[in-house]
Amino acid sequence: MEMTILENLHKPRKRLFIGLLAGSLLALVVLLGIMWYLFINRMYPFHRFLLVGILSAVILILIVIAVGIGGIVYTLWRSKTIPLGNLMRVPINVLFPVVITLGKILGFDKEKIRSSFVEVNNQLVKTRHPVVPPEKILILLPHCLQVNHCPHKVTVDVENCKRCGGCSVDSLMALKDRYGVKVAVATGGTLARKFVSEWKPKAVVAVACERDLTSGILDINPLPVLGVLNDRPNGPCFNTCVNINRVEEAIKYYLGED
């Protein structure tokens, strides 16, 4: 119980990402208004007509983004999916760089923003209630979970793990055996995308740092990805570990057991 309370205290708040997402949309609307004011009265009629056409297209895109943000907020609030489906991914895919930039301007740490995004993504996935057979679930792991002095490199073949218990890979392989899911260890985003392309899973549980989780989720959407942040007691990318219970919970969720 005490650990649960501590985890909740340090859990990133979803409203940080949602607030910055809405703020990014507002910033684009204000920028559009400024551009209109500065240029519309200084143009010849033909150029003015062309600008109106371009701005109309941009406004349409902004409306779609606004509807998508509204869908995200409603889904998170009601904890259930709505017919908008992939439309909710439009504001995330389009505005994510703006969100990071705006957050930096406002003084928010990039890793906190990314953590908030992972929480938002996880809840959006869970509201879809996907039920997936175990052989179609892929657990993607970073290579830094393996202790650096281990000679049996699992990035070549995860079955090279000797189950010595010296790192988290042993426990994760136990989950693989228990539930019949697939496990792959990637050295980076390119290899992770290669595993997804070759194995064609219907759902992914990804373990990584904030940056890699964020880029991975954005790269392979709309494929459902439940992200689990790794722990870095020795610093980034070196002898990291992960809460095995969280990975197991994600697997059980996809199997319809949780």
**Domain 134-254, second-level architecture:** 3-Layer(aba) Sandwich (3.40)
pTM above 0.95, yes or no: no
DSSP 132: -
* Region(s) of the chain under CATH 3.40.50: 134-254
Q: Is the peptide bond before 222 cis (omega within 30 degrees of 0)?
A: yes
HEC string of 142-205 equals: EHHHCCCCCCCCCCCCHHHCCCCCCCHHHHHHHHHHHHCCEEEEECCHHHHHHHHHHHCCCEEE
pLDDT digits 0-9 by tens, 162-219? 999 889 999 999 999 999 999 999 888 888 888 999 999 999 999 999 999 999 999 9
pLDDT digits 0-9 by tens, 32-78? 888 777 766 665 565 666 677 778 888 888 899 999 999 898 888 88
SS3 label, residue 239: coil
